[in-house]
Amino acid sequence: MKILFLLVLLLLISCLIAIDLNLPQSAVHNAANNLNLIYPTASSMSMNPAICLPGLETSSTYLFNMEELSKYDLHLVIPLGNCCFHLGDSYLDHEFYSENQAVLGINYSSHNLTAGFNVRMLSSQVKGYKDTGSTIFDGGLKWSNSNVSSALAVRNITQSEYEGSILPIVYLWESCYQITKCSRISFGLEKENDFDFSFKFAGRYDILRQLSLISSYQFEPNRIGMGAVFNLYKFNLVYSVRTHQYLDLTHYISLSYEITH
Amino acid sequence: MRLLTSIFVLLLLTANLYGNDAEEKLFSVEEETYHANELSEILSQIKENPININTSTKTELQKLPWLSENDIILIIQSRKNQVLSSWEDLDKLGINAITVNELHDYIVFRKRPELHLKQQTRVEFSEAKSKLRSSLKYYQKTLTEYGNFKAGVLTQKDEGESDPIDFYSYYLQYRSNEILQNCILGKYRLALGQGILFAPKLGMSKSAEATSVPVKKYSSLKPYTSSYEIWELEGCSFELTTRNWSIIPFLSRTKLNANLDSLEQITSFNESGLNLDEAKKNNVQETLFGSAVEYNNGNNQLGCSYSSLAFDHEFSNDKRNQKYQAVNLYCNLFNNSYPLFSEIALADEKVAGLAGVKFGDTRFRQMLLVRNYAKDFPSWHGNPFSAQSNFDNETGLYYGVTILPRKDTKINCYFDLWSFPETRYFEKMPTVGSDQFLQLETRISENTFRFTIQNKQKEKYITLDEAEIRDFERLLLRLDWWQKLGVITMKSRAEWISEYLPEDKVHGKGVLFYEQAKLRSEKLQIIAQITVYRSVLEPFKVKHYMYENNVNGIMQNSVFSGDGVASYLLLRYDLFNNVHLQAKISDSWQKSNKMRLFFQLISSW
């Protein structure tokens, strides 16, 4: 089944060029099934431009544990007054195909509200065949108080096209609630054109100041993610895994450095 | 009889009622079996002899599945400084109000009286089986205790069986605090680790107690007192203990009821216990011996076992061997805030393993459990956490969450993903499935609401001969409402089920409503319920699973499909301090031959 899926994936790859596959951008996203409020990181801004944690983050994975399908991410978020600026890049590599996504983002916070905006430049290459690309715009809003935060992201807000076809708009709404000093839960809904609503749930528990556990579930498609965040001074090391119904686990690892706001 | 039932129902509307069906949460929402399981048996025993919260051990408290590890630690620590004397004391400790409510039938705040002799006799009459030669079902259990010795005899005869003691269990048990801590001669059952090799069958896996019940916490060696007529061991086993170490050798030779083919090879076992054909009764012999070694310091348990099993007939399935050896290694580390449990077993050269961890704080508990059982792993005496009864050929990941957002609110949810990585019986390809469950229970003044959603998706073949695999989706929505009017409690349920084959665009739906009333006065307890249901039978039969009180008062599953109205009335009257009479009548108003009658007499001296 795994080989079959890989073959189908490779056959479809020319159709998937520059189509945003909504892949995780970091180990935390992998653990939380792309929910961002449960543990914001620098890469969160690429999923929802209103959510971020100033810092530098780099991540790496073999998707579905296939050594031939590697992915690398690098994100930098710099705070400046009430604004945060984001510069990021994700690179998916395969022997016959590669895809690069460069992200430029900004958000502005006022009181409890944050609004953000992203420009994503997707470029892909079928090796020995052709290169192509597309520019995508995302918007995001976040509201938060001491215990509750809620955010909405609209990805591909301008309905950008790729080779004459309109790329899908993705809506992601999520809310996060701090239950106790050490625990928080998050749930969200994701909707992509022509797909059903995808429900997501995530929990975070801070065992120690230096160690947090994240676990999550996504409904449609059904996936469980889990990960551990090791925090030392301003450095975070995150390891996570996420299931797939037919393929192997995706193991993800991230290393980040927080910049004090 | 139906008129009588109706009158009782009407009378009950004006009577005093009590109870909240806490045990129903522990059972799987879908469980087809009619037999009592180990858990319900344990609960039944505790209900009759409630745990004294002031003197109980940690192991005894762990038998109460509603209590979390934190709750148990709170109780044990508080006992050092004070005697717990009321429910308010538990409330003051910070135990959730829903949890406290669930404990009402199982805990007392005094010393437990010593039980010396208990006699239980039950007669059942089923209208559907009234034309059989010997149409009554008898069940009797005698348990006696003298000093360190306990003995018991249990017999059962199903409807239609001619032998008055068609099934029997017996045991002599010696228990002490010396080196020979536990010794059983007769019929017994083993439970090791998380139950991959040995566990009571019918134990629960998934339930609304999402972070508690999936963990197996059985005692290792126990007399066989279940009425389920299979899987018991017969012979001798004992537990030798020095300080924290125990060794449990076991030897068993059991007769089983099997279906044999023309080559006298075993095709399957008769798990129903119904022996209408004497030729198929006790026609296969199983010999088992081995030993387990355990280290237990009260909180943590480490163990391993070796066993050798042989049948006196071969199996028709050439993947199953007549003789095989099995070893396992297990640990239950409960002495920390992040309880860990795991077991790995090798049997007949196939491997099965399970591991889980709990984490979180008192208001937010989570549990992750991963399991992998090889195809054709001998699942005969085992019952670990799984999505199916024969647990071999399964890989899965379970994520359970319990949230206590407020004092009187409890949320349980679980998400389970599994796959059967190799072909199974009449499934020509590997299949996958998932299960999502959410239950919210909250108390507002004298009203308790329990809202349940369960969604199940799996790939399946509909018939044996077709070559097409389909997605199957089942959605259940259920609302339960208890209303306390002084000492009166009424329970109402509304349930809606949808089953769907997306590829074929075929829907099946069902609705069920019931109203239940409970009364408990000093000497009399009455439960009455009327259920109305309507569900489709074509293209597939939509089933409603409903736990109803059996004659003991313990929950037991019933299955409804089609259209109908069903009712039951249960009565318990304390004739004397030590003698209780129990009776139950159940019937279906629109279907014939559905009436069942139960009479049970329990005496304790």
Q: In chain B, which residues have their Cβ closer than 8 Å to the Cβ of A175?
A: none
pLDDT at B553: 67
Per-residue model confidence as pLDDT tens digits over B397-409: 999 999 988 888 9
pLDDT band at residue B3 using 50, 70 and 90 as cut-offs: very low
In contact, B377 and B350? CB cutoff 8 Å: yes
ipTM above 0.95, yes or no: no
Place of tokens 């004739």: B575
pLDDT band at residue B25 using 50, 70 and 90 as cut-offs: low
pLDDT at B13: 37
Q: Do A203 and B397 touch (CB under 8 A)?
A: no
pLDDT band at residue B115 using 50, 70 and 90 as cut-offs: low
Angstrom distance (rounded) from CA A254 to CA A235: 10
Instruction: Report the residue of chain A nearest B395, measured CA to CA.
Output: A245
pLDDT at B73: 81
pLDDT at B26: 64
pLDDT band at residue B20 using 50, 70 and 90 as cut-offs: very low
- Please enumerate in sequence order all residues whose Cβ is within 8 A of that of B391, keeping only pairs 6 or more positions apart, or say none: B352, B373, B377, B379, B382, B383, B384
Shortest distance between the Cα of A35 and any Cα of chain B, in A, equals 17
pLDDT band at residue B417 using 50, 70 and 90 as cut-offs: very high
Distances (CA, A) of B14 to B10, B519, B522: 7, 10, 17
Q: In chain A, which residues have their Cβ closer than 8 Å to the Cβ of B360?
A: 183, 203, 205
Omega cis (within 30) before B539: yes
Per-residue model confidence as pLDDT tens digits over A149-194: 999 999 998 888 877 788 889 999 999 999 888 899 999 999 988 7
pLDDT at B204: 63
Q: Is B403 on the interface with A (CB under 8 A)?
A: yes
CA B278 from centre of chain: 29
Element (H, E) at A10: helix A2-16
Among the listed ranges A190-199, A201-210, A224-233, which one has the minimum average pLDDT value? A190-199
pLDDT surpassing 60 at residue A196: yes
pLDDT at B38: 62
Q: Which residues of A touch B (CB under 8 A)?
A: 1, 179-180, 182-183, 185, 201, 203, 205, 207, 213, 215, 217, 219, 222-224, 226, 243, 245-246
More confident: B600 or B18 = B600
Per-residue model confidence as pLDDT tens digits over A125-148: 887 777 888 899 999 999 998 889
Among the listed ranges A228-237, B83-92, B394-403, which one has the minimum average pLDDT value? B83-92
Q: Do B364 and A183 touch (CB under 8 A)?
A: yes
* Residues of chain B above pLDDT 70, percent: 90
Shortest distance between the Cα of A156 and any Cα of chain B, in A, equals 30
Instruction: Report the residue of chain B nearest A183, measured CA to CA.
Output: B364
Instruction: Report the residue of chain B nearest A206, measured CA to CA.
Output: B360
The residue-averaged pLDDT of B262-286 equals 83
In terms of C-beta density within 10 A (0-12 exposed, 13-18 middle, 19 or more buried), how is residue B411 classed?
A: buried
CB atoms within 10 A of CB B49: 15
Tokens representing residue B598 in the block = 């139960």
Mutate one of B358, B363, B399, B418 to test the A interface: name it (highest A CB count within 10 A): B399
pLDDT at B532: 95
- Per-domain residue ranges of chain A: 2-258
pLDDT surpassing 90 at residue A39: yes
More confident: A18 or B392 = B392
**Mean pLDDT rounded to a whole number for chain B:** 84
Instruction: Report the residue of chain B nearest A219, measured CA to CA.
Output: B436
pLDDT surpassing 90 at residue A59: yes
Residue among A1, A213, A224 minimizing CB distance to B417 = A224
Place of tokens 């059991």: B254
Q: In chain A, which residues have their Cβ closer than 8 Å to the Cβ of B96?
A: none
Residue among A183, A217, A223 minimizing CB distance to B360 = A183
pLDDT at B537: 85
Place of tokens 């005692």: B219
Residue B160 lies in a domain: no
Angstrom distance (rounded) from CA B338 to CA A205: 11
The residue-averaged pLDDT of A192-216 equals 90
Q: Do B401 and A201 touch (CB under 8 A)?
A: yes
In contact, B141 and B225? CB cutoff 8 Å: yes
pLDDT at B7: 45
Element (H, E) at A99: strand A97-110
Q: Do A205 and B361 touch (CB under 8 A)?
A: yes
Backbone angles phi, psi at B489, to 5 degrees: -125, 130
Q: In chain A, which residues have their Cβ closer than 8 Å to the Cβ of B405?
A: 179
Q: Do B401 and A203 touch (CB under 8 A)?
A: yes
CATH architecture of A2-258: Beta Barrel (2.40)
Per-residue model confidence as pLDDT tens digits over B181-205: 899 999 999 999 999 999 988 766 7
Residue B421 lies in a domain: no
The residue-averaged pLDDT of B340-344 equals 94
Mutate one of B336, B431, B434 to test the A interface: name it (highest A CB count within 10 A): B434
Q: Do A222 and B401 touch (CB under 8 A)?
A: no
Residue B564 lies in a domain: no
Interface of B with A in 322-361 (CB under 8 A): 337-338, 359-361
pLDDT band at residue A200 using 50, 70 and 90 as cut-offs: very high
Mutate one of A208, A211, A226 to test the B interface: name it (highest B CB count within 10 A): A226
Q: Do B405 and A179 touch (CB under 8 A)?
A: yes
pLDDT surpassing 70 at residue A114: yes
Q: Which domain holds residue B275?
A: 166-385
Shortest distance between the Cα of A238 and any Cα of chain B, in A, equals 18
pLDDT band at residue B464 using 50, 70 and 90 as cut-offs: low
CB atoms within 10 A of CB B151: 17
Q: Do B338 and A217 touch (CB under 8 A)?
A: no
pLDDT surpassing 90 at residue B152: yes
More confident: B521 or A102 = A102
pLDDT surpassing 60 at residue B5: no
Q: Do B364 and A246 touch (CB under 8 A)?
A: no
Instruction: Report the residue of chain B nearest A205, measured CA to CA.
Output: B360
